Amino acid sequence: MNTLQIGHLPGIDPASVQWQDLPGLDLGPDHRLQVPALTPAQLQALCEHLRGPGRQALRALPVREIIDAIDAAIHVLLDTGSQAHQTLLHWLPRVTGFSAEMVRINLNATLRTYRAPQLQRFVAEDFGSTDLLDGFAPRVTGGLTHAEGAALLTHVWAGNVPGLPLWSLISGLLVKAGNLGKVSAGEPVLASVFARTLARLSPVLGNACAVLWWDRQDEATARTVWAASEAVIAFGGDEALAGLQRQMPPGVRFLPHGHKISFGAIGREALSATRAPRMARLAAEDVVRHEQQGCYSPQVFYVERGAQTTPLEFAERLAAELQQLATRFPRPPPGLAEAAQIAQWRSRLEWSPEVTLIGQPEHGWSVAFHAQPLALGPGPLHRCVQVVAIDALEALPQWLAPRRRHLQTAGLAVAPERLQPLALRLAECGVTRVCALGHMPLPAPGWHNDGRPSLLDLVNLVDLEASTEALSEGLAGYEV
């Protein structure tokens, strides 16, 4: 029996912890995941440890040392010969359903975004330097300012995309917060392996973060955690996030990241006979990577008319690329509910005279071509994508407007003179990230998730005003 214990519990005696099987996952007869079943007293002690000694030791470290420690842990996870790396390659395909090759490629790409140079840029993006996090830094207008992380920052992670927990957990460590992460049953492995690796290499950082799981129906555990938290960052569907927000006590900062929809937009200049094959390949890679489970994954491609390659021909090329990728990266079998949604989606489109449906159910992908523009809308995911012909990409705003609150990433392939004007129009519609086609599921380090700062939202800015400095100077021993 292969058993992996999920969790990292600093300050709790390991011998006192009871373990239970993680429900809801079918890993086969020879594999099981276990999670800690903490008593109320243990949970309270864990929260107090993170808020108290765990965080205080972290606060004493310069951010530079925190970055170096995280970088060392990431290096271990990237090392193909390490036990941690092998654990991830063994367990992630089983818990996510992703192919082993897809896990390998995605894992390496994700981990590389958290190396030291990227983390240094991450901090510089929001703070300019580490000075505000390490102490008080001068302000241009006079006085000083310090960025103080939460005593306890709680993370509620979704399980749709492996690697998602690292972004918020590392962010919490960079701002020197105490961190408690709740993993999803859909992907509980990576955060646990990372936290344990980090603790082995840097006990100070390991003592400032915990990883555990509790059932969403366990209101007692949730109440204890929310009461101890100063801020909660959560990922999930809109309904689930609304339910979480109702649970928050007054004064707790709630930072939700809910359902989003993303799309690609391909200009006629990218659809010449020589360029179109590459564009189709990039679009297919954006669809297949993360199996459209990320908020940044494309569900629709808007394709301009007037090029050597017509929008329908592009849709056919995209279908061919998806078929080719399916041999290397087989689609994970959808669950019963997901399979029913795919079947309903295909059935509805098959009866539409304005739609050309490419691909058979057994192919594991579907491309629906629309000859007329239509409003952006979600599909059933699982490599089901729509290609929409449009006369000019500049007309996109009218088709995006109904989804303004849920827009996130636009993957563009347009000429330089069109790039910024089009990006500004998309920004006005609510798009918060514009990237190249082929890079949609690979956000840059330090990206502004849902248009918000990565680190600034996690701190309180403490102002030490110039008047305080002036009065203090008058009380110095050298003043008469």
* pLDDT tens readout for residues 258-291: 989 999 999 999 999 999 999 999 999 999 998 8
Q: Kindly report, residue by residue over 124-170, the tens digit of the pLDDT.
A: 989 988 999 999 999 988 899 999 999 999 999 998 777 788 999 99
Q: Kindly report, residue by residue over 297-347, the tens digit of the pLDDT.
A: 999 999 999 999 999 999 999 999 999 999 999 998 888 889 999 999 999
Query: What is residue 258's three-state secondary structure?
Result: coil
Distance CA 222, CA 351 (A): 47
Distance CA 141, CA 76 (A): 44
List Cα–Cα distances, 292 to 297, 357, 410, 412, in angstroms. 5, 19, 14, 17
Give the global pTM: 0.93
| DSSP track, 228-252 | H-SEEEEES-HHHHHHHHHHPPTT-
Q: Is 260 exposed, middle or buried (0-12, 13-18, 19+ CB in 10 A)?
A: buried
Q: Are 133 and 174 in contact (CB under 8 A)?
A: yes
**Mean pLDDT, the chain, integer:** 94
The lowest-confidence range among 40-49, 97-106, 193-202, 305-314 is: 97-106
pLDDT at 479: 63
Structure token digits, residue 265: 């937009």
